[in-house]
Structure 1
Amino acid sequence: MPKTPKLTAMLHAKCPRCRRGDLFKTSMYGFKSQKMFDVCPKCGMRYEIEPGYFYAAMYVGYTLNVALAVTVGIATYMVTNELESPWVYIITILLASFITAPINFRYSRVILLYWLSPKVKYVAHYDHD
């Protein structure tokens, strides 16, 4: 069985240790709340490494949201060429932030686990069906 590529596992929000188990119990845009598994259903890795571990994901999410706001602001200017009314920018940025909130929530945790956690390593012998 070939090993699962890291980018594929990140995009599908899989466990960083085995790259097979799901991180979240529900779909991204479902009507249920965004709940994570406590441990990986495949390899048993505990996702919350220490108490309050995912508070750091708020900083990652904030960074993603600022990048989104700047991008949407520039795109709004390029499309509308409007400099007089700040409401055009406020409405488009807030709308984009609300629409991408579930993506931001999930991927801030995925980025924290995959890139910003030196203790979490991929273990190839868990990467099987």
Structure 2
Amino acid sequence: MKTTEHKLTAWQAFAHAKCPRCRRGDLFITGMYEFKGQEMHKTCSHCGLVYEREPGYFYVAMFASYALNVAEMVTLAVAISVLTGSSNPWLYVSIILGVAVVLSPFNYRYSRVMLLHWLTPGLHFHPEMSEDKAE
């Protein structure tokens, strides 16, 4: 029986951290801001995709996380300058580092999601994989 109730767009699957191949299984076991940290599933619960494609695969996500951090810091520096007009370096350092610490779980999660969804060659959405499993 084919259903369309589980069809997510690419952006919805990205935002909800779903499997890039079937868009049904969750990538993470825990929430973004839990005290015990973020833990990923080894495989997709729906289609069986192994998330860590090779040993050390997620080290590449550090580059995506770095890019996110730089974009956030530059945006904050411009916003602080425009909103306050201050030239006090301690204002910039304290706000930017505080926000960087708060956003670090977000950057960790979405750098991995970005790696799986957009930066892995040959890993694409397969609509037939998103169908309900036969019982």
CA distance in structure 2 between the partners assigned to 1:92 and 1:123 by the alignment? 43
Counterpart pick for 1:51 among 51, 55, 64: 55
| Structure 1 runs not aligned, ≥5 long | none
Q: Counterpart in 1 of 2:110?
A: 107
- Counting only pairs closer than 5 Å after superposition, residues 1-129 of structure 1 correspond to structure 2 as 1-2=3-4, 3-83=7-87, 85-129=88-132
Q: How far does residue 106 in structure 1 lie from its aligned partner after superposition?
A: 0.4
Q: How much does 1:62 deviate? A: 0.2
SS at match of 1:100: helix
Give the Cα–Cα distance (whole angstroms) in 1 for the partners of residues 96 and 31 of structure 2: 24
- One-letter amino acid of the counterpart of residue 19, structure 2: C
The TM-score with structure 1 as length reference comes to: 0.95
TM-score normalised to structure 2 length: 0.91
Q: Any conservation in 2 of the 1:17–1:120 contact (CA below 8 Å)?
A: yes
How far residue 119 of structure 1 moved from its aligned partner, in angstroms, is 2.0
State the 1:80 CA deviation.
1.1
Distance 1:65 1:97 in 2: 7
Measured against aligned partners, the alpha-carbon deviations of 1:76-123 in whole angstroms (never above 9, x if no partner) come to 11111011x210000010011011111100000011111110121111
User: Structure 1 runs of 4+ off > 4 angstroms?
Assistant: none
Q: Residues 28 and 34 of structure 1 are in contact (CA less than 8 Å); yes or no, is this contact kept in structure 2? A: yes
Deviation at 1:128, TM superposition (A): 2.8
Structure 2: tracts of 5 or more residues without a match: none
Whole-Å separation in 2 of the counterparts to 1:5 and 1:89: 38
Given that residues 18 and 127 in structure 1 are in contact (C-alpha distance below 8 angstroms), is that contact kept between their aligned partners in structure 2?
yes
Asked whether the 8 Å contact 1:20–1:128 carries over to 2, the reply is no
Matched pairs, number: 128
1:19-75 CA deviation, whole Å, 9 max, x = no partner?
000000001112221110010111100000111000000000000000000000111
Q: Which amino acid aligns with 1:117?
A: T
- Aligned-residue Cα RMSD (Å) equals 0.9
